[in-house]
Structure 1
Amino acid sequence: MTEEDGQFVTVDGFGRLTGRVSRFLAVGLVALALAGCSGFNLFGPPKVKDEVIIPAEALYQQALDDMDAQRYLTAIKLLEKLDRQHPRSPTTEKSKLMQVYANYRIGKFDESILAADRYLAIYPSGKDVPYVLYLKGTSYFGQIKDITRDQQLSRDSIDTYNLLISNYPKSEYAKDAKEKLVVAYDQLAGKEMSVGRYYLGQGQYAAAINRFRTVVEKYQTSTHIEEALFRLTEANLSLGLVNEARSAAAVLGHNYPSSAWYKEAFDLLAKQGLTPQVAEGSWLAAQRN
C-alpha cells in the first residue's frame, strides 16, 4: 500500500491499480467504449461532411432540365444550392428568377411571393422585374377566396399589379395584369355587397348604406354596381330618406335603363307614389355617366 496525494492506493502482485483509481479508470474506459459505439465525439461535435462544389452553370442547366421534365421540387433544391455555393455568380440572378417561377408553377404561392421579394430586394433594376412583379401579383391572385372571406389577398394582388402597370406600362405582362385587376376589384366590391346585405337584413340601414355607397363610388365597373344602386334605393327608403332613394333609382335608370334592378327600384318607389329623380345636391348626381 502506498500514499499518493493523501489517498491510499493498493497495488497487487501484477502491478495493477486497485481501489478508487481503478474504479475511475474503469468508468473512463466504459465511457470511451460507448462513445466509440455511438459515434459521439468527446472532444467536440462531429465534423459535417463538406458539400461538393458544382459549377454554377452546371447547377443551373440541371435545374432547367428538371423543370422541363416537370421536376420542380428537385429544380428548386438545385437552384438553392447554386445560390448557396455561388452567391456572387452572374447565374445567381437567373437562379432567383427561376425560383419565383418554379414555386409558382407548382402552386407554392407563398414561397413564390417570398422568392419574388428576395429578387426585387437584390435586383430592383433587373430586366426581369416586370415578370417577377407579374408572378408575385398572380401568386396573390391565385389564392383569392370567395367574397364571404377576408379579401386581403385581393388587395395585395391589386397593389402588385398596379405597381407593374404604373412602372412598366408597355410590359408584355401589363395587359393580363389589367384583366386580372378587374376580377380582383370585383372581389372587393362583392365583399362590400355581402356585408351590406347582412346589415340591411339586420335593419342596420345606415351601416348598409355606407357599404353600398363604397361600391358605387369606388367600384363603378364592377358587376355589383346595379344591385348596389338598388340597395341604396331600398335602404334609404327604409330610413325615410326619400330624396336619396329617388336619386339612387334615377342614377340606376340613367346608367342601366334595361336593368332588372332598375325595374325593381322603380316598382319599389311606385308603391309609395314616388318616381326616380336625382335630388339637387345629392352625392349620387356625380355618378351619372
Structure 2
Amino acid sequence: MSHSPERLHRLLSPGIRALAAASGMSILCGCSLLSNKQEVHVPKMASAEALYNYGVDALHSQRYTLASGEFELLQQNYPYSGYTANAELMEGYAYYLQGEYALSVQQIDRYLELHPTSPDAAYAFYLRALCYYEQIADVQRDQQGTSEAMDALEEVVTRFPQTAYARDAQLKIDLCRDHLAGKEMLVGRYYQGQHSYEAALTRYQRVVQDYQTTNHVAEALHRIVEVDLALGLKAEAQRAAAVLGYNYPASEWYRYTYDDLRDNKLVQSRDVRPKSRPEGLITRMWHFIF
C-alpha cells in the first residue's frame, strides 16, 4: 500500500517542513557527478541551504533521483551544516519514493545511528518500516519480507505508541498477519490436496492458534474438520465444528462443515453450536467437549 509523497511529507517534524516550505528557488546551471552517477545541475559553490532547497524543489516536482543526489551532495560538501541531518533523512525519503527500498533503509539506518534522539526519529522508524511493507510478496511466494515488515512495524508501535505512526503501523501489522495466515492456508490446502493430512492439519492449527484475529480462521476450522474426518477422527471433527459454529455461526464455512458432519451422520439437527460457551480464546477451545 503506497503512501503519497504529500502525506509522508506532512508527517515530518515542523522543523523539516518549515525548511521545505522555504524552498522557492529554481535549479540553476552547472553540473556535478555524484557517486550514483546522476548528473546534478547546481552551482559549483552552492551553499548548504541552496542544495537543501534544490533537493526539496526536486521532490515537489517528482524528480526523486535528482532530489536524492542534491541531498547526498549537501552531506558530502557540508558534513557539519545545520541542514545535514535533515538532508540525510530526506535522502532516505527520496530513495523510498523512487522504489529504491534497500537504499532507503540503508540511509535511514545511517541517520538513526547518527541521530538516535532526533525529534524525527519516529518518522524515520516509520519510513523504514514502510520500505519493508512495500516489498511484501504475493502469498504464492516466500513471506520472509512480510515477517521483516511486521518486525519493523512492531518496533514503531513499541517505541512510539502514542503517535500517528504507531496507529498506522498497527493497521499494517494486522494486514501482515492476515497475509501470513493466507500463506499458511495456501500451504495447508496444498498438503490436503496431496493427502498429507498431518502436514495440512499443522498449518491449519497454526492459523487458529497464531492468527486468531485474521479472516482466515473460519476456513481453517472448516479445513480441520475436513482433515479430521479424512483421518477418521470424528470426535475431534465435532469439537472443531463446535468452535466454528459458536464463533462463526453465519459463515459459509459453518454451513459447509454442517453438511460434512451430516454426511458422516454426526449431527441430527441443523444446530451444531455448543451447548455452552467454550472456555477462553480459540487457542484453548480444542479442549471443549461437544
| Equivalent residue, structure 2, for 1:98 | 90
Q: 1:139 aligns with which of 131, 145, 156?
A: 131
Instruction: Tell me by how many angstroms 1:190 deviates.
Output: 0.5
Q: Choose which of 218, 222, 240 in structure 2 pairs with 1:226.
A: 218
Distance 1:163 1:136, change over 3 A: same
Q: Which residue of 1 aligns with 2:256?
A: 264
| Equivalent position SS for 2:140 | coil
| Segments of 4+ moved more than 4 angstroms | none
2:228 counterpart (213, 220, 236): 236
Does 2:284 align with 1:286? yes
The equivalent position to 1:120 in structure 2, one of 104, 112, 115, is 112
SS in 1 for 2:164: coil
Judged with a 3 Å threshold, the aligned counterparts in structure 2 of structure 1 residues 287 and 87 are, in CA distance, closer, same or farther, namely farther
Contact 1:216–1:228, Cα closer than 8 Å, also in 2: yes
State the distance in 1 between where 2:282 and 2:228 align.
Answer: 12
Q: Kindly tell me: are residues 162 and 284 of structure 1, through their superposed partners in 2, closer, same or farther at Cα, counting changes over 3 Å?
A: closer
Deviations 1:3-56 (A, max 9, x none): xxxxxxxxxxxxxxxxxxxxxxxxxxxxxxxxxxxxxxxxxxxxxxxx955422
In structure 1, the partner of 2:209 is 217
Residues 37-186 of structure 1 aligned to structure 2 (within 5 Å):
52=44, 54-186=46-178
Question: Which consecutive unaligned segments of at least 5 residues does structure 2 have?
Answer: 1-42
Q: Identity percentage over the alignment? A: 41
Q: Say how many residue pairs are matched.
A: 237
Matching residue's letter, 2:150: I
- Partner amino acid, structure 2, of 1:274: L
Shift of 1:98: 0.3
Distance 2:103 2:162 in 1: 28
Structure number with larger C-alpha Rg: 1
Secondary structure at the aligned position of 2:230 is classed as: helix
Report what 2:4 is aligned to.
none
Secondary structure (helix, strand or coil) at the match of 1:265 reads helix
Q: Give me the whole-angstrom Cα distance separating, in 2, the residues matched to 1:240 and 1:277.
A: 21
1:124-150 Cα distance to aligned partner (Å, 9 max, x none)? 221111111111111111121111101
Report the counterpart of residue 247 of structure 1 in structure 2.
Answer: 239
TM-score normalised by L of structure 2: 0.76
2: CA distance, partners of 1:285 / 1:270: 26
Using the TM superposition, give the Cα deviation of residue 200 of structure 1 relative to its aligned residue in structure 2, in angstroms: 0.4
CA contact (8 A) 1:189 1:222 kept: yes
Contact conserved, 1:130 with 1:168, CA < 8 A, in 2? Answer: yes
CA contact (8 A) 2:246 2:273 kept: no
Q: In structure 2, what is the Cα distance between the partners aligned to 1:174 and 1:159?
A: 13
- Say if 2:122 and 2:165, in contact at 8 Å, map to a contact too: yes
Counterparts in 2 of 1:241 and 1:91: CA distance versus 1, 3 Å:
same
Task: Return the offset for 1:243.
Answer: 2.1
Contact 2:209 2:283 in 1 (8 A): no
Q: 2: CA distance between counterparts of 1:120 and 1:285? A: 39
Distance, in Å, in 2 between the alignment partners of 1:90 and 1:247 is 66
Q: Which ranges of structure 1 fall in alignment gaps of 5 or more residues?
A: 1-50
> Partner of 2:182 in structure 1?
190
Q: State the 1:166 CA deviation.
A: 1.1
Structure 1 vs Structure 2 CA RMSD? 2.3
Quick one: which amino acid aligns to residue 245 of structure 1? Answer: A
